[in-house]
Every structure is written in structure tokens, then in C-alpha cells.
Amino acid sequence: MPSDQSTWLIAVPYDGEAEGLSQELHSKLSHQSKYTGLAQFEIPSFKTGTLDSLIALSEDIPKQETYFTATVAKTVDTLRSLLNNDPAKLAQHVLIDEKSVDDYLLKGWKWDEGRYGVQKGLREIVDSLGKEMASIDNAMKAKLNNYNLVKGSLTQMQRKKMGNLSVRSLSDVVSKDDFVQDSEYLETLLVAVPRTLVKDWNVKYEHLTSMVVPRTSTPISSDDEYTLFNVVIFRRVHDEFVQACRENKFIVRDFVYSEDDLSKQREELDTADTTEKELWTELLRLSRTNFSESFQVLVHLKVVRLFVESVLRYGLPANYLGLVVKPDPKVTKKTFNVLQTHFTYLSPRSNRSTNGKKPEGQQEFIGEYQSLMDQEFFDFVLFEVPWIVY
């Protein structure tokens, strides 16, 4: 039973009028179940190659599919993160050539002959798709890593500006006028005092040690937890004064005023902020483009798999009709039953009964490709395109 969170790609052999089959199915599905969409598409007449090559592809393509699907999903996750998980904004970017995923699949999907010529062998086509997806994946990883490094650096800088006055950066809190400048003997310390101890500070600071300059402490800034004071002391009592403050629960901030350093910090923050915005824009643009490209590559690989499995299942001539079905999740089982009933006539050709077991006469099948026969089979070939963007 296929998932109710996916669009189904189906292949069936046909000898007659393809449009008649599509119309008949459309009528049955419309009358017996709700479904979002049904469309047909042409499965190209690829070069079949040898049986061994088809078997090898049948074994290899599922591994590629897993990687392709994960790459598309990572791109969508990147877009979600960049857009703060906003579904409306995400819908504007998960497009294939400016079309929604549903429109891309259900409104006239065609094999891209210009990029993946059917005159090539199947293995060459699959290898070409794999190289393209790897290139997309590598480009995304490089750009994402670069963005994350810059964003991490910016976050770290911004974090220093957060918190209370006992821990946050003071570069945007203090000014030159708060300090004694160019004195050989005196220095200005900054002390974060808990708001409940401000009265204690005003009473005690002049007497915490000797050589504290009287009436030199003034409040500079306050928050909900602390008030920041400056105070002028003689350099020689620095360590003693810090220890006395610690004993009284006053926090001396390790800060040396330097106009050059403060200017450099502000410049670095502005640069990091600008760079992060630029890289965000670049990553958003690349993710949008790469979603479109990678989703197309994934669908093309699935169509190759439909063809390979159809040849192995139904044999030659390789005349197969492709169908896209997007079921309503509420009636997925009913929709699937309609399809099973309609394609029951394919059972003899598929060499399978509808319950996935081998029919009589093949119970003793033993051979090099036995493992391929131990899967769940339907009378039609079906592979899923998961709803990655939902």
C-alpha cells in the first residue's frame, strides 16, 4: 500500500489509445473517491540494454533515490530555516520553473530531452543525474557552511550585547567622559552593583580600601538586576579593591576604555551584520534554484526506474504509459483500490498476483536475481514522490 503522503508515479503497458485509458480512469476516480489530481505523461523509449544491465540498474537506482530525496529534503529544510518556518513564504520558493510541485507533475510533465537525451544508454543517463545531484548537494553544503560560520560569529557578537550589566558588553553603555584619562597613578573601574545593594555601595565604596578617591562614583546605567557605577582608585590598590568588592557582592567588570577598540568592535559587528544579510540573500536564492533543479532530477530518476521496472515486469516492446496520481489522504486506500481493480487485467503480464505472492508455476524460482522478486508487487508499476514540501 503506497503512502498517503506522496504523489504516485505509475507505469502500465498499453497498446491502444492512451487518452482513452486516462479518461476512463478519471471517470472511475471521480465517481468512487476524492482525489486531487490525475494526469498522464509519456515515458520515453529508452535504449533497453541487456537484462543484466537492467537488473543492475534495478538494484542501484533505489540507493540513488534515497540520496536524491534526502538532498531535496535538506534544501527544503534550509529554506524553512531561512524563512523562519513561515508556510506562506516557503510556498513562494518551493517552485519548479515558477510552477508549484503539483502543477509541475500534473500539468504536462515531459522528459527533458535537451538535458538527458534518450539516445544515451540508461546507465549513462543515471550517472549524469547522479553527477548533477552531487554538484547541487556540494554547492548547497559549501554555501550553507559559509553562511552558518558568519551567522554564528554574528550571533556570538550579539550575545555579548545581551544579558544584564554584570555580563554584557559595555561598549555601547559607557563613554569617554566616564573615565579618568592618561593618569599614571589613577584608574577608573566599572562595578555592577545588584539593585538591592545600591545603598550599601554608596555608603561603603569609599571605605572598601584605602586610596579610593572620594565622591568619584556615579551611576552610568541600570537594568532590572544591576546598576553600573564607575569609581576612581589608585592603581596600586586595584587587586585589593577588587577583592573587597567581591566580598560585598559587587562585581568589578574587566573593562579598559579604548576608543580604538570600541570603534573596531562596532565596525566588526556592522560588517558581520552586513555580510550575514548578503549571505542570507545568496543562500535563499541558491536554495530556491537548487530546489527546482534537484526536484526535477529526482523525478527524472524515478521515471527511469519506472521504465526499468516495467521492462523487467512486462518485457518488450517497451510501450508504457505514465500516470501521475495525487490522492486525497482521507481516501487513499479507496483510490488505490480503484487503481488495483482497473489494472487487474495486467496480472498475467506482471507475473504477479495482486497480493504480492508468486503465482503457481514460479514457486520454485531460483536464480541470481531472486532477491528482486521478494518485494511487494502490484499489477502496475508504482513509485512514490514524497510530499517533501508539506
Residue 285 inside a domain? The answer is no
Q: Are residues 230 and 305 part of one domain?
A: no
Q: pLDDT tens track of the chain, all 390 residues?
A: 888 899 999 999 887 666 667 778 878 887 655 677 889 999 998 999 899 999 999 999 999 999 999 999 999 999 999 999 999 999 999 999 999 999 999 999 999 999 999 999 999 999 999 999 999 999 999 999 999 999 999 998 888 888 899 999 888 899 999 999 889 999 999 999 999 999 999 999 999 999 999 999 999 999 999 999 999 999 999 999 999 999 999 999 998 888 888 888 888 889 999 999 999 999 999 999 999 999 999 999 999 999 999 999 988 888 899 999 999 888 888 889 889 988 888 876 655 443 444 444 444 433 344 344 445 678 899 999 999 876
Residues 75, 143 contacting (CB under 8 angstroms): no
167 — phi, psi (to 5°)? Answer: -130, -25
- In three-state secondary structure terms, 320 is strand
Residue 135 inside a domain? The answer is no
Residue 93 inside a domain? The answer is yes
What is the model's pLDDT at position 127? 96
Q: Are residues 315 and 234 part of one domain?
A: no
Q: Are residues 115 and 183 part of one domain?
A: no
Q: Are residues 118 and 194 part of one domain?
A: no
Q: Are residues 238 and 184 part of one domain?
A: yes
Residue 284 inside a domain? The answer is no
Residue 364 inside a domain? The answer is yes
CATH at 210: 3.30.70.100
Give strand pairing partners of 326: 37
pLDDT tens for 10-43 read 999 887 666 667 778 878 887 655 677 889 999 9
Q: Are residues 303 and 243 part of one domain?
A: no
Total of domains in the chain: 2
pTM, 2 dp: 0.78
Q: Are residues 117 and 15 part of one domain?
A: yes
Residue 239 inside a domain? The answer is yes
245: buried, middle or exposed (CB in 10 Å: 19+, 13-18, 0-12)?
buried
Q: Are residues 189 and 99 part of one domain?
A: no
What is the model's pLDDT at position 362? 40
Residue type, 197: L
**In whole angstroms, what is the distance from residue 149 CA to residue 153 CA?**
6
Q: Are residues 249 and 186 part of one domain?
A: yes
Q: Please, what is the Cα angle at 144 between 138 and 145, to 5 degrees?
A: 90
In sequence order, the 6+-apart residues with CB closer than 8 A to the CB of 119 are 47
C-alpha cell of 314?
512486462
- Please say whether the dihedral angle defined by the alpha carbons of residues 186, 192, 197 and 198, taken in this order, is positive or negative: positive
Upper half-sphere CA count for residue 326 (Cβ side, 13 Å): 13
Give the structural domain span for 368: 6-125+297-386
Residue 268 inside a domain? The answer is no
What is the model's pLDDT at position 353? 40
Cβ neighbours, 10 Å, residue 187: 19
**In whole angstroms, what is the distance from residue 385 CA to residue 382 CA?**
10
**In whole angstroms, what is the distance from residue 363 CA to residue 259 CA?**
86
Q: Are residues 314 and 240 part of one domain?
A: no
Q: Are residues 241 and 304 part of one domain?
A: no
C-alpha cell of 234?
589608585
Q: Are residues 105 and 205 part of one domain?
A: no
Residue 288 inside a domain? The answer is no
Structural domain ending residue among the three candidates 231, 254, 277 = 254
What is the model's pLDDT at position 363? 40
C-alpha closest to that of 378 among 12, 15, 22: 12
Structural domain ending residue among the three candidates 222, 254, 286 = 254
pLDDT tens for 98-115 read 999 999 999 999 999 999
Structural domain ending residue among the three candidates 254, 270, 287 = 254
